[in-house]
Amino acid sequence: MQQTTNFTTFTIDRSLAHPPARVFAAFSSLEAKSKWFGGPAEWKLAERSLDFRVGGREVSSGGPSGGQMHRFDALYYDIVPDRRIIYSYELHLGDVKISVSLATFEFEPDGGGTLLRFTEQAAFLDGFEDAGGREHGSRWLIGKLADVLDGVAPSATFEPQ
């Protein structure tokens, strides 16, 4: 196996027409987060849990029927209600850990809405090349979050880049 590490960092800013407390709430319970955080509609969910507290864990796994399973396994380090969430997570494809990331969500008041700022610092492991796919997927998920907050059906179709 090739022992390499490739790094990427990106930031996504998204203006949302909802106050920080409402946007933050979409992250803070399993019921709320399950409405927008997950794979494409055709994926089968295998496991989903959320213990939203400092030191708590979040797990989400699933994948296409008959295809490779994806597993997101996170640990929460910092939670400031309505202001900030910081967690680290591992992403696995099947039995292979492909990356370890530090993810930060910031919720800035912006008039009557929120400027949501998401920053990810990722280390891709052992020959896995991301080629911008992580940022593309993160933009898709944040778009689903915006749809849920706006009361419209979130886009269930993920378009690869």
Asked whether residue 159 is domain-assigned, the answer is no
The residue range of the domain holding 13 is 5-150
Within a domain: 107: yes
In 17-83 the beta strands, taken as DSSP E runs, fall at 43-50, 57-64, 70-80
Cβ atoms of 107 and 20 within 8 Å: the answer is yes
| CATH number for the domain that contains residue 70 | 3.30.530.20
Q: Which residues of the chain have pLDDT under 50?
A: none
In a domain, 54, yes or no: yes
Query: Taking the model in full, what pTM does it have?
Result: 0.93
How many structural domains compose the chain?
Answer: 1
pLDDT of residue 153: 83
Q: Across the strands, what pairs with 118? A: 12, 105
pLDDT of residue 77: 98
Report strand pairing: 96-110 vs 84-93.
antiparallel
In a domain, 59, yes or no: yes
Say what the pLDDT of residue 161 is.
54
Let me know if residue 137 belongs to a domain. Answer: yes
